[in-house]
Amino acid sequence: MTELKTGGAQGYLRIATEEAFVTQEALDMYGEILDGPDPDPGFKSLWGFYLRSEAERPKFIRDALLGLGAGRIKDMDDRGIDKAVLALTSPGTQILSKDKAVALARNSNDELHQACKDHPDRLIGMAACAPQDPEGAAKEIERAVTKLGMKAVIINSHTHGHYLDEPQFAPILEAAEALDVPIYIHPNTLPRGQVEPLIAAGIDGAIFGFGVETGMHALRVIVSGTLDKFPKLQVIIGHMGEALPFWMYRLDFMHQAGVRAGRYASSGPLKKEFVSNYLKENFIITNSGVAWEPAIKFTQDVIGKDRVMYAMDYPYQCPAYEVEALDNMDMSLDDKKAFFQTNAERVFKL
């Protein structure tokens, strides 16, 4: 293993775009939910582990998530990460009651802003908001972008079983489109009533359930016609597009078949002909959790080289050997630079 260095000597900077943090306030709120009556089963499976287990991994992750100073910068240095785009970790505000979600969005944006101010050449922020209060969320997004310098909006997927294509969330999409910032739809655990069979099998979290949940969320946003209403909106999804690029042929075929037959009122004709048109024109895909050359190249091939970005997913998945493997991909320097650096610079306006 060669030593990884920041500074771009390999011909590009490494900008990691799905990096997580948490605040003590969020952990306290999560603890209250876990101690309350009948906590959400997916949340309990995920955060019962990360908050309460004393095993090595959850302890490391708790500390790393809370770190927004020297420790995080050192971990970035050790892994050759020049810049990290940070977002409140899943489920962020989404699991909270309205009042708590509003408070956490505001306070965590302020904390993140301070960290970015302390490390202006290393840390970049995404704005949290509380979809439980859509008008307030739009105002908080505006504050975070215009006053705090945030470069995107983080939505940790469904909010109490509700998805961004539902009409009550229009103010959020409107604000993001008007401010010209992308929305990162990051995974959440599946809602009650869907997550139980995955918990029973031990596949509810990042191993599989996250992808099912968030791939579905992205697809809902497409087939509902939401992106026809907000055509300039850019949506980022991680984990190699939550497998949607691999589904693309079938999505196009079956969506067309359904439209022609008038099968579903809720996924009627779209302004653009194919589901894949939206993936290629409104989505940016990061490789968080998938340090795997064939999947990255396939996605570059079918979605576009200007729409696939590097992400580490610190601290959940952060071995240095993954950075080295990606450096060593059999890919032109131009394409590698787009992947690691320039796509992120364009998407986040760095």
Of the candidates 75, 204, 313, 322, which one interacts with ligand 1DF according to CB under 6 A? 313
**Contact between residue 123 and residue 86 where contact means Cβ atoms under 8 Å apart:** yes
Length of the chain: 350
Task: For the CB of residue 97, give the shortest distance to ligand 1DF in the complex, in Å.
Answer: 20
- Site string (5-44) toward Mn ion, x via CB under 5 A: -------------x--------------------------
Of the candidates 82, 111, 133, 313, which one interacts with Mn ion according to CB under 5 A? 313
| Nearer CB in complex with ligand 1DF: 210/230 | 210
Residue nearest to Mn ion (CB): 313
Q: Buried b vs exposed e over 253-265: b needs ≥16 C-beta within 10 Å?
A: eebeeebeeeeee
Tell me the H-state helices in the chain: 24-35, 41-52, 56-66, 70-79, 98-118, 134-146, 170-179, 196-201, 209-223, 226-229, 239-242, 244-261, 275-282, 293-303, 320-327, 333-337, 343-347
Strands 83-88 and 283-286: unpaired
In whole angstroms, what separates CA 60 from the centre of its chain? 21
- Site string (267-306) toward Mn ion, x via CB under 5 A: ----------------------------------------
| Nearer CB in complex with ligand 1DF: 227/295 | 295
Residue 289 interacts with, from Mn ion, ligand 1DF, none (CB under 5-8 Å by kind): ligand 1DF
| Nearer CB in complex with Mn ion: 213/313 | 313
Strands 235-237 and 15-21: unpaired
| Nearer CB in complex with ligand 1DF: 104/138 | 104
Of the candidates 205, 215, 245, 315, which one interacts with ligand 1DF according to CB under 6 A? 205
Total residues at interface with Mn ion (CB under 5 A): 2
Cα–Cα distance for residue pair 248/104, rounded to 1 Å: 37
Residue nearest to ligand 1DF (CB): 206
Residue 205 interacts with, from Mn ion, ligand 1DF, none (CB under 5-8 Å by kind): ligand 1DF
**Contact between residue 311 and residue 287 where contact means Cβ atoms under 8 Å apart:** yes
Cα–Cα distance for residue pair 141/336, rounded to 1 Å: 32
Question: Which residues share a beta bridge with 184?
Answer: 154, 236
Site for ligand 1DF in 86-115 (CB under 6 A): 89-90
Exposed (0-12), middle (13-18) or buried (19+): which is 250, by Cβ within 10 Å? exposed
| Nearer CB in complex with ligand 1DF: 208/247 | 208
Instruction: Write out the residues near Mn ion by the rule CB under 5 A.
Output: 18, 313
